[in-house]
A and B are shown apart, each in its own frame.
Chain A
């Protein structure tokens, strides 16, 4: 009886999960099936969930020369990849060195500085956007990848996450390494950094997807079409929606490939990252 009761609730939960899955996934499937219908079929065929004839021509044509003149999707893809990768590396480097100092070194002003940084997290970013543009303009980096990368790598939250993690590593390890003659930089690089790998992976993944998905800022600072990243680029593709449904949706799916791959391989870390941010142990 007890066992049946336990299973009963699991069966109800399973049914609800299946229903929720249908709700969540159907729009995605419908759009995917639309993207593998020919434009002619979409225009004349009316509503249909499944394609009459499966074709990948929309995907192929997106990369063809006709389309790429006004929507250089390959170029955008490359730009995004460059920005996201450079940003990820810099974020990991800059926030981990900083976190190392706040977690494991002593220096005058440390606590004041650290808590000041933490307090700025509550400052609404909307106030910064306009002056930030002016600063990038003054530095002469408008319409370059640096306007996308530089303002996004000094994030305070990452320092907080990494510092928390570093604080859990025994201090004796540093002392032992000091006795062996290692300097502070060697301790950071050889000892602490490898031990922090779990939190660094989390930081890196969120940096990557954050950079890849950034929309408002790139659409402000990038003027040239061929220098755009893919997320604001897709907004341009959307403008072709009236005539090219299939192409537009295909573009949407293509633009998600890198983050999807990262997610497939590192799904556990995403979950762990969300939990770390919320301060719960999973």
Chain B
């Protein structure tokens, strides 16, 4: 697993990266009430705002951590946004992206690094 400073996690499988937000971020956001995901097939660039997430407390944008193509999105969290609070780093992933450039991964943190980052 890799982690960004924007509180996203990435898990790789055969060149496709599954992306979600960390449990820490979900806790900070509070109860999630709305999620808007990108479309499958969208070509996105790193730092594009591709997900909108609204909690009882805040409206947030999730940035694409990589350049690439969206291959799958998790409709289950659109229907049931509270899943994000229940299992942020498991079932409640947001989207899968086939990366066209994996170099940003070098800048992302491992689990120990992220734990240190959030203090």
Q: Do A and B come together as binding partners?
A: no
Interface residues of B, Cβ cutoff 8 Å to A: none
Interface residues of A, Cβ cutoff 8 Å to B: none
